[in-house]
Structure 1
Amino acid sequence: MPIDAAKAISAEPRSTALTWGHKDIQLYHLGIGAGIPATDPEELRYTLESRLHVLPSFATVAGGGMAVAGGMSAPGIDVDLAAVLHGGQTVELHRPIPVSGEATQTSKVAAVYDKGKAAVIVLRSDVADADGPLWTCDTRIFARGEGGFGGERGPSDRLEPPAREPDHTVERAIREDQALLYRLSGDWNPLHADPAFAEVAGFERPILHGLCSYGMVLKAVVDTALDGDVARVRSYTTRFAGVVYPGETLRVRMWRDEGRVHVTASAVERDDAPVLTDTIVDHVRSGVNGLDPE
């Protein structure tokens, strides 16, 4: 059945209760490679409950990361889930994420774009607690074979990094068991764990979750370009351009700009095959309390 974009966008938002605590934060941080070296004071901010701060990309897994599942069952959205890919992700922070919390997530289909042979579905989730808004997530789902329904084509701009050498280049090793650890935060897709399932899907072995790469790259940017201060991140957006496998190495290039860092990530062992592109981390000045732009 073709996508009914008008019906999907006009559907009532769905609300879900979210709860999390320090164990959820620590497990997520370990899942994206934190804690190496284990006694490094900089790493203990991600792993030790008495020093803990929260990397903003945790927003994608808080409460089990169920916004996508709910959005794909919204009225007007009837697609083949086997043809669905995670196309891109944005997290916008309204204030720093607390180490423990109870909040309400309100999700809806914000837009549906017709790319001809495919559709792009934008799922938006707003999360707030008793003190007000916490974060907004936009998840862009690429549904192959679901285009041609006569909708708007939507934006297609690419975010090219500056035409100069990067200000920082770092490499981050992906552990052989990284996907097995990351999936404990809520994404149980066997594509990331079961070799037989991955082979049927067309991959030589299980691939790393795109959102795991997303978190690893943000941690690299925070640690390298933002003085290790997670509270400086205002928003983080990316396009998933390719896969990366556990055991490989991510090469993360960063270009500083006014109030933002342009980023690319690639797989070192496969001739710098793109993993994340069109990637921007918007941030505030060091020492600024709140989320005012630099």
Structure 2
Amino acid sequence: MPIDAATALAAEPRSGEISWTPKDVLLYHLGIGAGLPATDPDELRYTLESRLHVLPSFATVAGSGAPGVISGLSMPGVEVDLARVLHGGQSLTVHRAIPAEGRATATSRVAAVYDKGKAAVLVLRTEVADTDGPLWTNDAQIYVRGEGGWGGDRGPATRLDPPAGPPDRTLERTVREDQALLYRLCGDWNPLHADPDFAKTAGFDRPILHGLCTYGMTLKAAVDTLLGGEVSRVRAYATRFAGVVYPGETLRIRLWKEAGGVVRAEVSAVERGDAPVLADTVVRHS
């Protein structure tokens, strides 16, 4: 079996130094669609270095591009075909505000391996800290088709009940035709998002948008509309990737503000009959 759960879980964590600059933050914000309209003061906080605020989802690409995802697939005990890999979900815990420029240590490991029968799910955890202490923790849930069935732990149930009542806000965001090509410059070079031939090998008609791009677009929508544009209020953010997005499509983002510092979100693709894209999506905030 290409995935040896015992070996993967017992492997020593990998640590390395990462760094980022305001240029990296600006590129990430542009990659998730910030800057429209270009002179809007609310957008300039994402696109102008003199007033730069860092959206917390930048943590998914800071320093090494999609930390814990592509690199995690080369951990001991893990040997998989990239064409069988899908990003199943992502969770982020922010321990304090992310600076616009920084240097830190990122430590990655396989935190869990689950047997879903027809697939395996790897939980790849990356913990990042600088000299002042912890900055953030990323958990990437990686779905590997055809690698389950060894009788292992199926893992916890993660599905949530639907939000109650009508959404507080419903927004539509257009995904540019070139958005995946721009977003991949943040460091996720998986050819699934750029190479038509590779996308067909993986079972898709054409290249798909990075799930983490949709993830960032959705957090930005929640921060801008329900959190007063204050990125520092975000404490945690989690989602399940329920379907693909193709460049050129329109995202419909529904947001619910709940008690206890919670925003719920559901995201769908308008042109495909509101096909689900993100589900079980929760932003926890102060």
Q: Which of the five TM-score ranges fits, normalised by the shorter chain? A: over 0.9
Report the counterpart of residue 45 of structure 2 in structure 1: 45
Report the counterpart of residue 180 of structure 2 in structure 1: 179
RMSD: 1.2
Distance 1:7 1:195, change over 3 A: closer
C-alpha separation in 1, matches of 2:27 and 2:10: 37
Q: CA deviation at 1:75?
A: 1.6
C-alpha separation in 1, matches of 2:60 and 2:70: 12
Post-superposition CA distance 1:35-60 (Å, at most 9, x none):
00000000000000000010011011
1:148 aligns with 2:138: no
Query: 1:50 is paired with a residue of what secondary structure?
Result: helix
Question: Structure 2: any 5+ residue segments left out of the alignment?
Answer: none
Q: Which moved more, 1:70-79 or 1:51-60?
A: 70-79
Report the counterpart of residue 14 of structure 1 in structure 2: 14
Report the counterpart of residue 238 of structure 2 in structure 1: 237
Pairing 1:1-294 to 2, within 5 Å after superposition: 1-63=1-63, 64-258=65-259, 259-284=261-286
Q: Which moved more, 1:161-170 or 1:17-26?
A: 161-170
C-alpha separation in 1, matches of 2:9 and 2:49: 41
Paired amino acid for 1:278: D
Question: Structure 1: any 5+ residue segments left out of the alignment?
Answer: 285-294
TM-score by length of 2: 0.96
C-alpha separation in 1, matches of 2:207 and 2:128: 32
* Contact 1:56/1:93 (8 A) holds in 2: yes
Q: CA deviation at 1:2?
A: 4.8
Report the counterpart of residue 288 of structure 1 in structure 2: none
C-alpha separation in 2, matches of 1:50 and 1:206: 35
* Contact 2:67/2:126 (8 A) holds in 1: no
C-alpha separation in 1, matches of 2:11 and 2:198: 34
Paired amino acid for 2:220: K
Paired amino acid for 1:43: E
* Contact 1:105/1:128 (8 A) holds in 2: yes
Q: CA deviation at 1:145?
A: 1.1
Query: 1:125 is paired with a residue of what secondary structure?
Result: strand
Paired amino acid for 1:203: F
Query: 2:70 is paired with a residue of what secondary structure?
Result: helix
Query: 1:154 is paired with a residue of what secondary structure?
Result: coil
Q: CA deviation at 1:83?
A: 1.1
Aligned residues: 284
